[in-house]
Structure 1
Amino acid sequence: MLTDSNIEFGIPKEVNRIITGESQQNAQSSDVEQTLDALKAEYDTAVDVFNKLETIDYESKRIVAQTAQPARCLTVKMLLLAKRIQERPPRPMDWERIIISSRLKDLSERYRKLSISSEPEAEEIKRQVVEQIDNWRKVNFSEQQSLNESISKLLAAADTGRKLSELIDDYPNLNFEVIATRVTQIIGVATNLTGNKYSSSIIKINSLEKEINKDKILKEFMKEIFLRNRQVQLPNSRLCQ
Structure 2
Amino acid sequence: MNALATPFTADPAADHLPAAEELARSLADAKPSEIIAAALRTVGRDKLALVSSFGTESAALLKVMADVDPAIPVIFLDTGWIFEETLAYRDTLIKTLGLRDVRSIKPAQEALKQKDPDGDLWFSDPDACCRIRKVEPLARALKPFSAWINGRKRFQGGLRAAIPVVEQDDVRLKFNPFAQAARAEIEAIYKSADLPPHPLVAAGFLSVGCMPCTSRTEAGEDARAGRWRGRAKTECGIHITKTA
Normalised by the length of structure 2, the TM-score is 0.21
Q: Is the helix fraction higher in 1 or 2? A: 1
Q: Is the strand fraction higher in 1 or 2? A: 2
